[in-house]
Chains A and B, each alone.
Chain A
Amino acid sequence: DVKVTQSSRYLVKRTGEKVFLECVQDMDHENMFWYRQDPGLGLRLIYFSYDVKMKEKGDIPEGYSVSREKKERFSLILESASTNQTSMYLCACRRAGGPPEQYFGPGTRLTVT
């Protein structure tokens, strides 16, 4: 079974802080995704990575950046956290060219005060 882990379940940060959210998968999947989930809005794609060092903006990339230096790890960076980035952040992965379903981590609930 694919296992996707995220570095923290809950995180509280102050406005203006630099925040790192880490995601690690153990199944050698090429594609990795970062979503944010807000009530009534479903999941929205922030960034997508095809493979190591490859990235593509999703639907809401503003205020975020990503890093994919190793295949198993995909980091989401909030350069200067703001209160409107308070949300649940979900990481997912998928095998390129394989079945289209994505495998999700447990999520990180981030609160920016």
Chain B
Amino acid sequence: SQQGEEDPQALSIQEGENATMNCSYKTSINNLQWYRQNSGRGLVHLILIRSNEREKHSGRLRVTLDTSKKSSSLLITASRAADTASYFCATARTDSSYKLIFGSGTRLLVRP
């Protein structure tokens, strides 16, 4: 079964609005990462949060992690049309931190 599951599967917002994506996972993790994929391209690493962290910021990105609920959220503030992409969470398990388990992704459309 999938380790990471994103919610919603698709999100459409107006430029300037905030976008929130959620990720749930099943097993104990070492860290959780978020990646972005532009249409038909490879993935680009956005941000990593370790299991002992609760919140992390990077520019317009804010990630939270709740290990008791086994969930994470990615917030993109003041979205731009260029943020249109698919976003994936990936978890690194405590027993094999180099192996990432990816969710099925959230497709974000930012309308100009």
**Among listed A11-19, A65-73, A75-83, A98-106, interface-contacting one:** A98-106
Q: Are A42 and B104 in contact (CB-based, < 8 A)?
A: yes
Cβ of A60 under 8 Å from chain B: no
Please tell me if the beta carbons of A100 and B48 are within 8 angstroms of each other in the complex. Answer: yes
Interface SS majority for chain A:
strand
Q: How large is the interface on A (under 10, 10 to 19, 20 to 34, 35 or more residues)?
A: 20 to 34
- List the B residue with the shortest CB-CB distance to A105: B42
Quote the shortest CB–CB distance from A47 to chain B (angstroms). Answer: 11
Please tell me if A27 contacts chain B, counting CB pairs below 8 Å: no
From A40, A45, A107, contact of B99 by CB (8 A): A45
In the bound assembly, the distance between CA atoms of A105 and B37 in angstroms comes to: 11
Instruction: Check B41 against A40 for contact (C-beta < 8 Å).
Output: no
A residues less than 8 Å from B97 (CB atoms): 100
CB proximity of B58 to chain A, nearest CB, Å: 12
Residues of B within 8 A of A (CB): 2, 4, 30-31, 33, 35, 40-45, 48, 88, 90, 92, 97-100, 102-105
20 pairs, A vs B, C-beta closer than 8 Å = A40-B104, A42-B4, A42-B104, A42-B105, A43-B100, A45-B100, A48-B98, A48-B99, A90-B43, A92-B42, A100-B31, A100-B48, A101-B33, A101-B45, A102-B45, A103-B45, A105-B42, A106-B42, A107-B40, A109-B40
